[in-house]
C-alpha cells in the first residue's frame, strides 16, 4: 500500500521538486511573480543538484533524495527508485523486483517540467504574496497559487521561500477533491554537483534479478 501511494503521488511530487529550490542571490523587495522568476533563473545556473526531502501526507510520511541535472533526474524513496535520462524513464519497485520502462509523452513531461510549476500563474493559477503570521514572516516569503479552473489539480500550492537565500523551505499541496494537505519539507540540498550521463540510466547489472517491463 505504501508503494502504491508513492507511485500515485510520484508525478505530482516530481513536478514540484524538480525546480522548487534556488541558490543565494542578491535581493530587492520582490513580489510573488518576481520571486518565482528569480527562482527559475537560479535553477538555470545551478548545475547538478542533490536534494533531500520529506513528504508528510494523510497516510503517513516518507523521505527521499532527488538528484537533478538539466532535464535528467534520479529519485530515491522507500522501496522505489526512478531514473530519467531526458528521453527514457525507468521506475524500479523493490517489493516486486521489477522495473517499468516508459517514454513520457509531451503532456507527461509538462507535469515534470520544473519551469511549468514555477509559471503556474501563467496557466490559470492566481498568484499572491501572502503573510504566514508571527516570527516566520521575518524569515520567509509565503506564496499562494490557486487554480482558477475547478478541474485543475492541485487545487492550490503554497510555497515558503527563505528571504535571505531565496531557497525553498516548504511546499504545501492541496490536491483537488481532498480535504487533506500534503507537505513537502526540503531538508537539505547541494548545488553545483556533477553527474555522469550513466548516472541517470537504469543499470541492469545492478539489479540482475529484476523483471524489466517495457511499456514503450
111, containing H or E segment: helix 106-112
For residue 114, pLDDT over 60 is answered with no
pLDDT at 135: 61
Cell of 67: 538528484
Work out whether the CA dihedral 48, 52, 166, 182 comes out positive or negative.
positive
Q: Cα dist. 60→21, 41, 108 in Å?
A: 24, 34, 26
Q: Is 164 exposed, middle or buried (0-12, 13-18, 19+ CB in 10 A)?
A: exposed
| 170 beta partners | 160, 185
The CATH number of residue 167's host domain is 2.50.20.10
Give me the pLDDT at residue 199, please: 98
Predicted local confidence at residue 133, as pLDDT = 66
Mean pLDDT for all residues in the chain: 78
Q: pTM for this structure? A: 0.76
Domain residue limits at 24? 2-214
- Position 195 pLDDT exceeds 60: yes
Which of 13-22, 118-127, 180-189, 190-199 ranks highest by mean pLDDT? 190-199
- Please determine, for residue 73, whether its predicted confidence score (pLDDT) is greater than 80: yes
Does the pLDDT at position 66 exceed 70? Answer: yes
CA 182 to chain centre: 13
| Torsion sign over Cα 129, 131, 136, 138 | positive
Q: Has residue 4 got a pLDDT over 80? A: no
Percent of the chain with pLDDT over 70: 73
Number of domains into which the chain is organized: 1
- Backbone phi, psi, residue 206, to 5°: -80, -15
Amino acid at each position: 500500500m505504501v508503494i502504491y501511494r508513492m507511485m500515485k503521488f510520484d508525478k505530482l511530487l516530481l513536478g514540484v521538486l524538480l525546480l522548487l529550490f534556488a541558490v543565494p542571490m542578491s535581493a530587492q523587495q520582490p513580489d510573488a511573480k518576481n520571486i518565482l522568476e528569480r527562482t527559475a533563473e537560479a535553477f538555470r545556473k545551478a548545475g547538478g543538484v542533490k536534494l533531500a526531502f520529506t513528504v508528510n501526507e494523510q497516510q503517513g510520511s516518507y523521505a527521499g533524495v532527488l538528484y537533478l541535472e538539466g532535464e535528467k533526474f534520479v529519485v530515491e524513496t522507500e522501496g522505489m527508485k526512478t531514473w530519467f535520462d531526458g528521453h527514457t524513464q525507468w521506475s524500479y519497485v523493490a517489493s516486486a523486483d521489477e522495473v517499468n520502462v516508459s517514454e513520457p509523452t509531451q503532456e507527461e513531461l509538462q507535469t515534470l517540467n520544473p519551469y511549468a510549476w514555477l509559471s503556474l500563474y501563467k496557466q490559470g493559477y492566481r498568484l499572491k504574496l501572502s503573510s504566514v503570521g508571527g516570527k516566520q514572516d521575518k524569515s520567509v516569503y509565503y506564496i499562494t497559487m490557486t487554480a482558477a479552473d475547478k478541474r485543475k489539480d492541485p487545487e492550490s500550492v503554497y510555497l515558503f521561500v527563505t528571504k535571505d537565500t531565496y531557497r525553498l523551505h516548504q511546499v504545501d499541496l492541496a490536491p483537488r477533491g481532498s480535504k487533506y494537505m500534503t507537505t513537502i519539507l526540503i531538508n537539505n540540498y547541494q548545488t553545483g554537483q556533477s553527474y555522469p550521463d550513466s548516472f541517470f540510466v537504469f543499470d541492469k547489472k545492478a539489479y540482475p534479478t529484476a523483471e524489466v517491463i517495457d511499456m514503450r
